[in-house]
Amino acid sequence: MIIMGVTNIILNYLIVQSLWLEGKNKMVKMDFGGVKEDVITRKEFTVAQAQKILKDEVVVSLGYGIQGQAQSLNMRDNGVKVIIGQEKEGIFKKEWDKAIADGWKPGENLFPMEEAAKKGTIKMYLLTDAAQKAVWPKVKSTLKAGDALYFSHGFSIVYKDQTGVIPPKDIDVILVAPKGSGTSVRRNFVDGSGINCSFAVHQDATGKAMDRAKALGIAIGAGYLFPTTFEKEVYSDLTGERGTLMGALAGILEAQYNTLRAHGHSPSEAFNESVEELTQSLIRLVDENGMDWMYCNCSETARIGALRWRPRFREATQPVFDSLYELVAAGEETRIVLEKSKAPDYRQKLADELKEMGNSEMWRAGTTVRSLRPKKAKKQE
């Protein structure tokens, strides 16, 4: 009797240890510039493990937009059971047709949004952030105890006072946020690389929330996964896209182009010195081995000048970034997004603004410059 009891205790201990080790092995500590952080790669957490965790789930992508398409195709290719929920009438027909073109079958694994939502155990809320607010009552009504609600952005949850998205307590609320366009999420998956993603758990009702989040991250093809919170994700994301990734990038390129044009430089010269050299040469060197490496591959004259001007640009823009972050954290950027998306013609207005940018002299000059790029041909050895 005593021997059996002791054996049971030892067995239980070993099981707990191996589960703990398994969990531990799924994270690896890496040094990010002197700060140690946990990350997960496909080595620690394999696609096979993700498949095992997701095997009894019906994963539904609500929305077949840029992220919905990329994430669901990657999961399908990774052997996860996925269905699509996409409205099909009027302006939504485009995405419905895109789903059919990608091989999803109406009535089998492609349904109108609410119908699909009812079938899913993991509901991936991949509508535009404004639409997540608009259709929340419909989606909320399909949630069953034990389901998971998945986001790729902290927006709806963090700014709940503005969006009204407050999930019931008996479901998991999780996030996997790709740090790249959906287009790259798919392209990089197809070429065997990946896009890095953050992950987070906002609510763990089932005890499985963390495993579900990690498994989905691996299944959608993350390069590596790093932990965050919903709040940190949305604050950094809104700052990043308004800042260096998109807003500041376009603004600073335009400013330099305008200065060169104002001093009589031709559009070709101004575009080459502001954009083409960046995209065709320098940013690729930064990508390859960092900023100092790129500097090392430029002339001494360029290096001396760039090192002298770098702090000036940093100091000139720091207050802009600080105020941007403050406005994001205060919910002001969210208020503007939700306000703008209320107008019935807001999609047309956005398209018009983009058209205006594309039709500017600078970006029309870019079209010509691109057309003059020699076609890549394999060099003879």
Ligand X SMILES: NC(=O)c1ccc[n+]([C@@H]2O[C@H](COP(=O)([O-])OP(=O)(O)OC[C@H]3O[C@@H](n4cnc5c(N)ncnc54)[C@H](O)[C@@H]3O)[C@@H](O)[C@H]2O)c1
DSSP-assigned letter for residue 104 = -
- 88 Cβ contact list (under 8 Å, min separation 6): 96, 112
**Residue 265 is a catalytic residue:** no
Nearer to ligand X, 35 or 101 (CB): 101
Residue sitting closest to ligand X (CB) = 65
Contact between 197 and ligand X by CB under 6 A: the answer reads no
| Distance from C-alpha of 168 to C-alpha of 156, rounded to nearest angstrom | 14
Interface residue with ligand X among 47, 135, 245, 298 (CB under 6 A) is 135
| Distance from C-alpha of 146 to C-alpha of 24, rounded to nearest angstrom | 25
Site map 42..71 versus ligand X, x via CB under 6 A: ---------------------xxxxxx---
| Distance from C-alpha of 277 to C-alpha of 112, rounded to nearest angstrom | 46
Give the DSSP H or E segment for 135.
Answer: none
Q: Which stretch binds ligand X (CB under 6 A): 8-16, 86-94, 205-213, 373-381?
A: 86-94
Nearer to ligand X, 129 or 333 (CB): 129
Helix axes 182-190, 66-77, angle to 10 degrees: 20
Nearer to ligand X, 41 or 198 (CB): 198
CB 214, min distance to ligand X, A:
18
CB 10, min distance to ligand X, A:
47
Nearer to ligand X, 86 or 228 (CB): 86
Nearer to ligand X, 225 or 362 (CB): 225
CA atoms within 13 A on the CB side of 58: 14
Of 95-134, which residues contact ligand X (CB under 6 A)?
95, 113, 126-129, 131, 134
Nearer to ligand X, 127 or 338 (CB): 127
CB distance 116 to 60 below 8 Å? yes
CB 4, min distance to ligand X, A:
54
Give one DSSP letter per residue of 225-275, joined into a string.
EEE--HHHHHHHHHHHHHTTTTHHHHHHHHHHHHHHHHTT--HHHHHIIII
Site map 153..192 versus ligand X, x via CB under 6 A: x-x---------------------xx--xx----------
CB 249, min distance to ligand X, A:
15
CB 191, min distance to ligand X, A:
17
| Distance from C-alpha of 150 to C-alpha of 214, rounded to nearest angstrom | 12
Alpha helices by DSSP H, 42-109:
47-54, 66-77, 93-101
CB 113, min distance to ligand X, A:
6
Interface residue with ligand X among 74, 86, 272, 274 (CB under 6 A) is 86
Q: Which stretch binds ligand X (CB under 6 A): 16-24, 76-84, 152-160, 292-300?
A: 152-160
Residue 312 CA: distances (Å) to CA of 249, 275, 291, 306: 17, 20, 17, 10
Give the DSSP H or E segment for 154.
Answer: none
Of 271-290, which residues contact ligand X (CB under 6 A)?
none
Determine the Cα angle at 247 with ends 243 and 252, to 5°. Answer: 95
CB 241, min distance to ligand X, A:
9
Instruction: Spot the catalytic one: 153, 202, 263, 265.
Output: 153
Nearer to ligand X, 92 or 295 (CB): 92
Helix axes 209-219, 47-54, angle to 10 degrees: 130
Nearer to ligand X, 33 or 137 (CB): 137
| Distance from C-alpha of 243 to C-alpha of 326, rounded to nearest angstrom | 13
CB 219, min distance to ligand X, A:
16
* Closest listed residue to residue 176, CA positions, set 152, 157, 148, 211: 152
| Distance from C-alpha of 107 to C-alpha of 102, rounded to nearest angstrom | 15
Catalytic residues: 153
Binding site for ligand X (CB under 6 A): 63-68, 86-87, 92, 95, 113, 126-129, 131, 134-135, 152-153, 155, 177-178, 181-182
